[in-house]
Structure 1
Amino acid sequence: MNERRNTVLRKRLLAALLALLLLAGGGWLAREDLFAATTPSYITATVATGDIERTVLATGTLKPVKLVAVGAQASGRITAVKVKLGDEVKAGDLLAEIDSTTQQNDLRTAQATLAKVRAERAEKEATLALNVKTLERQSKLLETRAVSRSDFDTATADVDVTRAQIKALDADIAAGEVSVSTAEANLGYTRITAPIDGTVLAIVSQEGQTVNATQSAPTIVVLGQLDTMTVRAEISEADIVHVVPGQPVYFTILGEPEKRYDATLASIEPAPESVRSDSSFSTSTTSTSSSSSSSSSSSEAIYYNGIFNVPNPDGKLRTYMTAEVHIVLGSAHDVLTIPSSALLSSDGEGNARVRVIGEDGRASERTIGIGLDDKMKVEVRSGLTKGERVVLREASASTTTSSGPGGPRPPMGF
C-alpha cells in the first residue's frame, strides 16, 4: 500500500518538475523576445584608412591645340586637291589649286600697264634732257640779245612742264607696281598652301568644285596639330566659384575609362558661350524677339569653359572626343575615413557629431574633427581610431521583430 502511494507521489513530483521546466523555458524565451524588441540594432561602418579626393566633375571636348580651316581667297574652279584625309603636311605645302587663268591675265595686264608707264617716263626723260639743252642755249643767246625774252621763258617753261610730267609718271609707276603686286598676290591665292604643320582632318571642297570668295572665304581643307590636345571643360555656375587656374585636373575618355590623363587647369573663360547671343547686342529691329528669347533662355543652365592642354604623342586622343573631367579641389592619402552618411551634423568649421558603437554594443554620440568630404567618404582628423564602428542608421523594426523565437538575430554591423 505504501509502495503504491510512493509511486503516485513520484509521478506527481515529476509532473510538477516538468511544469516548472516548461514555465522556466517560456520565461526565458519571453525575456529573449523582450530584449530583442527593446535593444536597438544598427547598420554600422568601420573606421578605416584610405585615400580621399574632393573634385568638381565637368564634361569636356577634345580639340587639337591648333585647328585651322584653310580657305580660298580666290574664286574659281578647283583644278586639283593635293592631299587626302590623314596626311601629315608641313607649313607651305601645296594643298589645292584653283583655275588661275583670270589671275594670270590680270597679272599680265598689270605688268603691261607698268611697262607702258615706264616707257613714257623714259620718253619724258629724253624730252627733259633736250629741253634743258635748249634752255642753256637760250640763256647764252639771251645774254647777247640774239633771242627774245619770250623765247627764253618758253624754254624755261618746257623744262618745268617736263619735270612735272616725269613726277606724275613716277606716281603712275608706283601705282602700276602696286597693281602688279596685287595681281601676283591674287595669282598666289590660286595655290592653297598649309599655314601650319598638321594633319588633314577634313577635305571640305573637292576637285572640280567651283568656289566663290567674293562674300566669304570658302573652306577647302581643315588642318589640326594633334601632338597636343586642348580640352574645353564645361563647369557649372554652382562649381565655378571653387575652381581657379593652376588646380590639378584629370580626365578619362569613353573608350578607356580606366586610363587617367593628368594635366593642370590653364585658364577659365570669363563669360559663358551664351554671351555671344546677349540681347543687349541686338539691333532695334530685333530687340523685341531677342528679349523674348533671352527671357526664355534665362532658365537654361550656365557653364563656363575651363581650358587645359594635354600631350598626345601616340595620337590616341582624337578630335571632338568627350572627356569626363575631374578638377581636384583637395586630396588626402592614407588617412582615416568613414562614410559621409555617418555624420549627424557638422558646424562647417571642421567639427562633426557621430554615433559610435561601444564595447557593450550600444551607441553614444561623439564629436570628431573632419577634413575633406567627397560626399561618399569623409576624412577623420581626430576623435576616432582605426577599427571603431560608427552608426550609419538604425536597423528597421521589421528586421528586428520578424525573427521568431529561436530564429536568427540581425547582425551587429558589417
Structure 2
Amino acid sequence: MSANRKASSNRLYRRIGIAVAVLALAAAAFWFWNQRKAAAAEGGYRTTQVERGNIRVAISATGTLSAISTVTVGSQISGQVTDVLVDFNDRVKKDQIIAKIDPSSYEAQIQQGSAAIASAQASLRQMQAALRNAELDYQRKADLGKQKLVAQSDVDLARAARDQAQAQVNSAQAQIRQQTASTQTTRINLGRTVIRSPVDGVVLTRTIEPGQTVAASLQAPELFKIAEDLAKMKIELAVDEADIGQVKVGQPVTFTADAFADRQFKGVVDQVRLSATTTNNVVTYPVVVTVDNSDGTLLPGLTVNAEIEVSRRNDVLKVSNAALRYKPTAEEGAAGPQGGPQVVQMRGGGMSEDLARVASGLKLNAQQQAAFDAAIQAMRERMAARMAPQSSGGGNGLFGRGGGPGGGGMRIVMGGSGGDLQAQIRQRMIERTTQQFAPFRATLSPEQQKQWDAQIAALVGAKRAPLYKLVDGKPQMTMVRVGASDGTSTEVSGPIQQGDEVVTGERAAAAK
C-alpha cells in the first residue's frame, strides 16, 4: 500500500516539473517574440534631429610668444668691460647707462690728437708768416720790374715763391682739419664706451661680465637683449597653406599655454605674412597675433596652442555631419520607379529665409524695406502656386512642376552629369532671383547693391548636399544648402525645419 502511494507521488512530481518547464519555454518564446516586434517597430534607421544653435569654425596652429619689439644692444667699439649696471629682468629707461667699457685708450688718443692739432697750428702760423714775407717781396719786385730796375726773371721767381708759400699754408690748414676730424672720431668712440639703453623695456638676456673683452672688428657683439614693452606681446603662428585663405586681419584668436593650463587667453590677428616656409614638403605661412599682457602673466618664449576663429554662425539650423555622409542602400527608396533616375523635391522656403537674412544686413530704410517685402511676398505666392496639387505628369523636362499632395517647388531629375545639373540649377536660380528682385535692387544705394550682389552670388553658389529625412519610416532625400562646419555639425538651410528627423545610418538586420 505504501509502495503504490510512493509511486503515485513520484508521477505527480514529474508531471509538475514537465508543466513548469513547458511554461518557462513558453514565457521565453513570448519574450523573444516581443523583442523582435519592438525592434521591428523601432525601424531599421538611426536618426538625429535638426537643431538650432551656434557653429564656430576655427583653425588650430602653434606658435611662440615674443615681445612686440625686441632690441639687441651691442658695442661699436672694442675694449674691456669695466662695469655692468643691469641684470636679467631689470627694467630700464631710455638712455639709462647699462654698461661701461674702459675709455683710457680713447682718452689717450684724444690727447695725442689735440697735441697734433696744436703742432699743426704752430706750423701754420710759421707758413703764414713766410707767405706774408713772400707776398711783400713779390710786390716790391713787381713795382721795380715796371720801372725796368730789375730783371723780369727776378719778378717771376718772387711770384713763384709767393705761390709756394700759399700752397704750404693751404696744406697746413688741411692737416689741421684732418687731425681735428680724427680727434672728433675718437671723441665719438669715447662716448661709445658708455653703453646706454635705446628704449624703455626689460632686460631679457645679458652676455657680458665685468672684465670681459669685447671685439667689434667685423660686427657689433651682442651684449644685451631688451624687450621694449611686455604689456603687449605677439605670437607668430605657422598656418597650413590649406587654411591660410580663411585667415583675415582682425579675426579673434584664443590660445593656451602649458605653463598656465587652467587659463585661456585672447588675441587678434594683426598680420598675415606672405613669406611662406616649406618644411618636409609642408608649406606654412606666418600669422602674427597681438596679445594684451597688461597683467604680465605671459612670458616671452612660451609655446602656445592657438585657435583662429575664421567664422561664427549664431542661431542657425545645424545637423550632425553623419547625416550628410549617409547614403541609402540601392534597395531603399532613393531611386526612382523601376530603378530610373532619382527625383528630388526642392522647396523655396529656405531661400526666402536666407534672402531675408541678407536684407537685414543692408540696413534698409522704409522704402527699401517695403520694396523687399513686396518682392518676397511675390516670390512666396509663386512658390505657393507651384506647390498646389497637380497631376503627377505635370512636370516636363529637367525642371518640372511639383506634383502630388505635399509636393511642390522645383522637381529635379537627378540623371546625367552632376556637374552639369548643378550648373543648370545655379544659372536658373540666378536668373530667377535677378528678375524677381530687380525693382528692389533699383532702390538700393551703390554700396548696398554691391553687398546685395555679393551675398546673392554666395547664396546661389553655396554648396548643396543631399539630406535624408525620415518620412513614414522611409528616407526621403531633400537638397539643402551647406554652410559652415565645426567638424561635428554643419549649418544647413533649405526645405528643412528644426526638429526634423534625419537619417544618419542603418541598423544591422536582426538574425532570423
Range class of TM-score, shorter chain: 0.7 to 0.9
Question: Superposition pairs for residues 156-171 of structure 1, below 5 Å?
Answer: 156-171=159-174
Answer whether contact 1:64 1:229 (CA < 8 A) is retained.
Answer: yes
How far is 1:395 from its partner? 4.5
Q: How far did residue 372 of structure 1 move?
A: 0.6
User: In angstroms, what is the RMSD of aligned CA positions?
Assistant: 3.1
> Does the 8 Å contact 2:272/2:285 carry over to 1?
no
Q: More deviation in 168-177 or 50-59? A: 168-177
Report how far residue 263 of structure 1 moved.
Answer: 1.0
Alpha-carbon distance, 1:236 to partner? 1.6
Q: After superposition, what is the alpha-carbon deviation per residue over 1:353-394, rounded to whole angstroms, capped at 9, x for unaligned?
A: 233344x56554433222111211111222332223333334
TM-score by length of 2: 0.62
Residue matched to 2:377: none
Query: Structure 2: 5+ residue runs without aligned partners?
Result: 1-22, 328-421, 423-460
Distance in 2, matches of 1:22 and 1:230, equals 75
Aligned to 1:316: 297
Q: 1:261 matched to which residue of 2?
A: 266
1:335 equivalenced with 2:337 (yes/no): no
1:205 and 2:208 equivalent?
yes
Decide whether the 8 Å contact of 1:37 with 1:401 is kept in 2.
Answer: no
Task: Check if 1:384 corresponds to 2:480.
Answer: no
Q: Which amino acid aligns with 2:314?
A: H
CA distance in 2, matches of 1:29, 1:160: 135
1:190 to partner: Cα distance: 1.5
- Contact kept, 8 Å, 2:256 with 2:306, in 1: the verdict is no
Name 1:270's counterpart in structure 2: 275
2:78 matched to which residue of 1? 75
Distance in 2 between the 1:369 and 1:147 partners? Answer: 117
* Aligned length in residues: 354
Counterpart of 1:307 (choices 252, 275, 288) is 288
Paired position in structure 1 for 2:325: 344
The answer to whether structure 1 residue 370 and structure 2 residue 460 are counterparts is no
Partner Cα distance (2:239, 2:121) in 1 = 65
Q: CA–CA distance in 2 between the matches of 1:380 and 1:244?
A: 23
Higher strand share: 1
1:88-167 equivalence runs, <5 A: 88-167=91-170
Q: Matched residues in 1 for 2:504 and 2:118: separation?
A: 95
Shift of 1:42: 4.6
Aligned counterparts of 2:271 and 2:265: Cα–Cα separation in 1: 18
In structure 2, the partner of 1:196 is 199
Q: Distance in 2 between matches of 1:135 and 1:37?
A: 135
Q: Distance in 1 between matches of 2:236 and 2:199?
A: 22
Tell me which residue corresponds to 2:8.
Answer: none
Q: Post-superposition shift, 1:96?
A: 0.5
Whole-Å Cα distance in 2 between the matches of residues 243 and 204 of structure 1?
A: 42
Contact 1:343–1:354 (Cα < 8 Å) also in 2: yes
TM-score, normalised to structure 1's length? 0.75
- Contact persistence 2:326–2:505 (CA under 8 A): no
Structure 2 partner of 1:11: none
Deviation at 1:161, TM superposition (A): 0.8
Structure (1 or 2) with the greater helix fraction? 2
CA displacement at 1:257 relative to structure 2: 5.6
The superposition leaves residues 272-312 of structure 1 with CA deviations (integer Å, 9 ceiling, x where unpaired) of: 2x6xxxxxxxxxxxxxxxxxxxxxx7x35332211233333
How far the C-alpha of 1:80 sits from its partner, in A, is 0.5
Counterpart position of 1:238: 242
Give ranges in structure 1 of 5+ residues lacking alignment: 1-20, 275-296, 403-414
- Deviations along 1:53-110, one digit per CA (max 9) or x if unpaired, are 2222211211111111111122222110111222222222211111122222222222
Bigger Cα displacement from structure 2, 363-372 vs 204-213: 363-372
- Aligned AA (2:126): E
Is the CA contact (8 Å cut-off) linking 2:276 and 2:283 kept in structure 1?
Answer: no
1:222 is aligned to 225
| 8 Å CA contact retained: 1:78, 1:211 | yes
Q: Answer with 364-373 or 199-208: which moved more.
A: 364-373
Between the aligned partners of 1:388 and 1:203, the Cα distance in structure 2 is 66
- Partners of 1:191 and 1:263 in 2: how far apart? 40
Which residue identity is paired with 2:103? S
Question: Does the 8 A contact of 1:247 with 1:329 survive in 2?
Answer: no
**% identical aligned pairs:** 29
* 2:50 matches 1:50: no
- Structure 1 distance, partners of 2:326, 2:113, is 85
SS state at 1:302 partner: strand
Kindly indicate whether structure 1 or structure 2 has the higher relative contact order, using CA contacts under 8 Å at least 6 residues apart: 1
* Distance in 2 (alpha carbons) for counterparts of 1:192 and 1:121: 39
SS at match of 2:136: helix
The answer to whether the aligner puts 1:35 opposite 2:37 as a matched pair is yes
Deviation at 1:187, TM superposition (A): 1.7
Alignment partner, residue 282 of structure 1: none
Checking the alignment, whether the CA contact within 8 Å between 1:249 and 1:265 is kept in structure 2 is no
**Structure 1: how far apart are the matches of 2:38 and 2:477?**
22
> Separation in 2 of the partners of 1:304 and 1:115?
63
Structure 1 residue ranges, 4+ long, deviating more than 6 angstroms after superposition = 21-27, 345-348
Q: CA deviation at 1:184?
A: 1.7
Paired residues of 2:247 and 2:310 also in contact (CA < 8 A): no
